[in-house]
A and B are shown apart, each in its own frame.
Chain A
Amino acid sequence: GAVVSQHPSRVICKSGTSVKIECRSLDFQATTMFWYRQFPKKSLMLMATSNEGSKATYEQGVEKDKFLINHASLTLSTLTVTSAHPEDSSFYICSARVAPWGEQYFGPGTRLTVT
């Protein structure tokens, strides 16, 4: 199957700072990338959908100014958590899809802890 990588796998930052998470599709070009958030023992919550070269579409309740998404190329999307607070601590997972109706592959996730 296709491989999606995320970096970093774990990050600890102080409250008020910003942190950037990278998501790369390693062996395919992704027309669409997704960002999810997952709370302990809960399912995945879609935060936003991004297509290369266009603005991300955010789900209801997700602050676009807080969670900045850039999809600069067909293999790279970034999520920047701005002015992070402890409540932003979570497991963030990106996903990439080859074609509009293709399979969706997930990255290994990034554990963010805001102190």
Chain B
Amino acid sequence: EDQVTQSPEALRLQEGESSSLNCSYTVSGLRGLFWYRQDPGKGPEFLFTLYSAGEEKEKERLKATLTKKESFLHITAPKPEDSATYLCAVQSLEGSARQLTFGSGTQLTVLP
């Protein structure tokens, strides 16, 4: 069974204080690892897809990296508008549904 564990559950940062969110996973054949951002009362917003170990992707202040066991979402010099819950999900090569398995998320608060 695919499993995704995100840490920490909650993170409070001062504006400009860089940090990283962790997503550990176990999957029987990784097709892709996905990062989403979710604001309160909204649906998740797609950020990145990573397919293989060593891959990195960047978008503004965010950079996602992937190893064979985990992914990190690095936030550089965050701003208050980066406050949200960040969700990680994996898609397995096995199974016909090819559905995503989500972690429980990291709630990020960036204080001005």
Give the interface of A toward B (CB within 8 A). 1, 4, 6, 32, 34, 41-44, 46, 49, 57, 91, 93, 95, 100-101, 103-109, 111
Given contacts A100-B98, A101-B98, contact A108 B43 (CB under 8 A): yes
Top 6 A-B residue pairs of the complex, sorted by shortest distance between their CB atoms:
A106-B43, A43-B104, A106-B44, A109-B43, A108-B43, A43-B102
With beta carbons under 8 angstroms apart, the residue of A6, A32, A44, A57 that contacts B44 is A44
- Establish whether residues A106 and B103, one from each chain, have CB atoms under 8 Å apart when the complex forms: no
With beta carbons under 8 angstroms apart, the residue of A1, A42, A104 that contacts B100 is A104
28 inter-chain pairs at a CB distance below 8 angstroms, sorted by A residue, are A1-B46, A32-B98, A41-B107, A42-B104, A43-B87, A44-B44, A44-B87, A49-B97, A49-B99, A57-B97, A91-B41, A93-B43, A95-B43, A100-B98, A101-B32, A103-B34, A103-B46, A103-B49, A104-B100, A105-B46, A106-B36, A106-B43, A106-B44, A106-B45, A107-B43, A108-B43, A109-B41, A111-B41
When C-beta atoms are compared, the residue in chain A nearest to B88 turns out to be A43
Task: Give Cα A3–Cα B107 distance, bound, in whole angstroms.
Answer: 24
Task: Give Cα A41–Cα B40 distance, bound, in whole angstroms.
Answer: 9
Task: Give Cα A32–Cα B98 distance, bound, in whole angstroms.
Answer: 10
With beta carbons under 8 angstroms apart, the residue of B32, B41, B91, B103 that contacts A43 is B103
- Establish whether residues B87 and A108, one from each chain, have CB atoms under 8 Å apart when the complex forms: no
Q: Give B7 Cβ to nearest chain A Cβ, in Å.
A: 14
The reply on B69 being an interface residue by CB < 8 A is: no
The reply on B31 being an interface residue by CB < 8 A is: yes
The reply on B105 being an interface residue by CB < 8 A is: yes
Task: Give Cα A108–Cα B39 distance, bound, in whole angstroms.
Answer: 10
Task: Give Cα A44–Cα B102 distance, bound, in whole angstroms.
Answer: 7
